[in-house]
Amino acid sequence: MRTQKKQERLDLNDLTWHDGRFLGLHSEVSLSGKSVVTLTVSLLVSLDSKERNTYVLKFKKPSRLISNFDFELMKKNYNFGNISEGRVYKDSGVRICIYLVEGHIEIVGEKVDLVVA
């Protein structure tokens, strides 16, 4: 059954961001053009569910990363979910805006690989 979920949930537009948990953000800058930004989140399977999946979003050829949040508030609101909402925009690449309890994260990249961890 876990394999089935992986196949069903690999579309960015289907993710349930509300009440999600921010787990981590990592960036690597490379002069060779292989820069990458990795975002790890734990999201509800649906708004009606208490079950969560951990997702790793890997942004290939990132062009922008903006983040601003309060670590103490993120920890304090972790159990309930420190992500208020998330939006995915696909223009000339992929832009994801995540609205946190007290702050936000915006990442723009040419492509995003989404994996269930």
What is residue 11's predicted lDDT score, i.e. its pLDDT?
A: 85
Q: What pTM value is reported for the model?
A: 0.87
DSSP secondary structure string for all residues of 79-102: TT-SEEEEEEEESSSEEEEEEETT
Total residue length of the chain:
117
pLDDT bracket for residue 32 (50, 70, 90): confident
User: What mean pLDDT do residues 82-111 have?
Assistant: 95
Chain-wide mean pLDDT for the chain?
90
Q: Are 61 and 71 in contact (CB under 8 A)?
A: no
